Amino acid sequence: MERGLSSKTLGMLLITPSLIIIAVTMIYPLINVIYLSFTKSFLIDPTGSYTFIGIKNYLLLFRNPVFWIALKNTLFYVGGTVSFEFLIGFALALLLNQQIKYRTTFRGLFMLPWITPSVVVALLTMWVFNSEFGVVNYILKSLGIISRYRGWLKESSLAMPTILSVTVWKMFPFMLVVLLAGLQTIPEEQIEAARVDGANAIQRFLHITLPHMREIIMIVTLLEFIWMFQYITIIWTTTKGGPIYATTTLPVLIYRSAFKDYNMGYAASIGVFWLGFLILFSIFYIKVVGEKD
């Protein structure tokens, strides 16, 4: 049946180029960075020499209050964005899944924030939330919600909630679209049968829709959680982690340590901690949410 190559060999041959690229772009840099995290090494050091210092970077890290602030900010930012994106995305997906006209058009229009490049969202944020001329200040004051113009990105109590809301606005369409696609795979007859048996809307949602959506919900929320850990564009463009440390998340802290303080070993240790945290979190999450009981 096979001519020349056996199918197993062909299968291996086809993935080899990708595996090489993955090795060069992910595995090698990762090993390099893990090694760096146990050394004292500076980016501007012309000799490029590393001194092995064991776990000292990690000890310094755990003793540094800024690291704990950044970790807390990251969890607040990621937890907040993923929860609100999910709630808004799922609610709108349920609405759009009803028999309404122009569903495809609505879905397409809701996607626009997600299509808009992150840098554009960041610049737009600076403009609409501007403390003197921003339209948000104008609208909220006209509605009587605020009594005076606020510096949404300048006041330390407001900067993080502002950036969080903007991120939710940018990212919820992804949830909406994937969850809507999931809802459309639920067989109509199942819901109809439950309706005939006298199940009300809430019961149908809890006993048919939710179990059916469990796997999709797990995958999109986990992916979004992982992505939001990385997401630095809006923060770096608008506040650079400030005022003081109000919007300093882990990626901001790593970037500052590596490319402003040139302390590569220290920056690497933050990254390794983060990766370890995400791996443990994901295993736990998949166990708790993903496993069918």
Partner 1 sequence: MIAGRSYRYVILGVVILALFITLFPIYWMVLTSFKPRVELFKLPPDWIPETPTLKNYYDVLLSVKAERLNFITYFKNSVVVCSAVVALTLILAIPAAYSFSRFRFGGRRTVLNLVLVSQMLPIVMLLIPFYVTFRKLGLLNTYVSVIVPYLVFTLPFSMWMLKGYFDAIPTELEDAAMVDGCTKLQAMSKVVLPNISPGVIATSIVAFMMAWDEFIIALTLLARDEMRTLPPGIVLSFVGEFEIRWGPMMAASVIVSLPVMLIFAFLHKHLIAGLTAGAVKG
Query: Binder to partner 1 among 146, 181, 210, 244 (CB under 8 A)?
Result: 181
Specify the stretch interacting with partner 1 by CB under 8 A; choose among 54-62, 63-71, 203-211, 222-230: 222-230
Residue 152 interacts with partner 1 (CB under 8 A): yes or no: no
* Buried/exposed 80-106: b ≥16 CB within 10 Å, e otherwise: bbbebbbebbbebbeebbeeeeeeeee
Q: How far is the CB of 46 from partner 1 (least distance, A)?
A: 11
Please report whether residue 230 would count as binding partner 1 according to CB under 8 A: yes
- Give the separation between CA 250 and CA 253, rounded to whole angstroms: 5
State yes or no: residue 185 binds partner 1 (CB under 8 A).
yes
Q: Which of 40, 53, 60, 106 binds partner 1 (CB under 8 A)?
A: 106
Contacts of 40 (CB under 8 A, 6+ apart): 50, 51, 53, 56, 57, 265
In the DSSP assignment, the letter for residue 290 is I
Q: Which stretch binds partner 1 (CB under 8 A): 57-65, 97-105, 156-164, 187-195?
A: 97-105
The verdict on 119 binding partner 1 (CB under 8 A) reads yes
Residue among 201 and 206 whose Cβ is closer to partner 1:
201
In the chain, the N- to C-terminal Cα span, in Å, equals 44
Q: Which of 215, 197, 204 is nearest to 97 (CA)?
A: 204
Q: State which residue, 160 or 217, has the beta carbon closest to partner 1.
A: 217
The answer to whether 11 contacts partner 1 (rule: CB under 8 A) is yes
Q: Does 148 bind partner 1 (CB under 8 A)?
A: no
Cβ-based nearer residue to partner 1, 139 or 193: 139
Choice from 66, 75, 123, 186 touching partner 1 (CB under 8 A) = 123
Q: Under 8 Å CB-to-CB from 237, ≥6 apart: which residues?
A: 119, 122, 123, 126
Q: How many residues bind partner 1 (CB under 8 A)?
A: 99
Quickly count helices (H) and strands (E) in the chain: 15, 2
Identify which of 229, 231, 232 has the alpha carbon closest to the alpha carbon of residue 240: 232
Q: Does 47 bind partner 1 (CB under 8 A)?
A: no
CB 280 within 8 A of CB 93: no
255 binds partner 1 (CB under 8 A): yes
Under the binding rule (CB under 8 A), the answer on residue 200 touching partner 1 is no
Q: Which stretch binds partner 1 (CB under 8 A): 24-32, 63-71, 75-83, 156-164?
A: 24-32
206 binds partner 1 (CB under 8 A): no
Per CB under 8 A, does 40 bind partner 1?
no
User: Of residues 60, 191, 199, 275, which one binds partner 1 by CB under 8 A?
Assistant: 275
Q: Does 90 bind partner 1 (CB under 8 A)?
A: no
Query: Quick check: 284 binds partner 1 (CB under 8 A)?
Result: no
Instruction: Classify residue 268 as exposed, middle or buried by CB count within 10 Å of its CB (0-12, 13-18, 19+).
Output: buried
Q: Which among 181, 206, 180, 182 is positioned nearest to 194, based on CA atoms?
A: 206
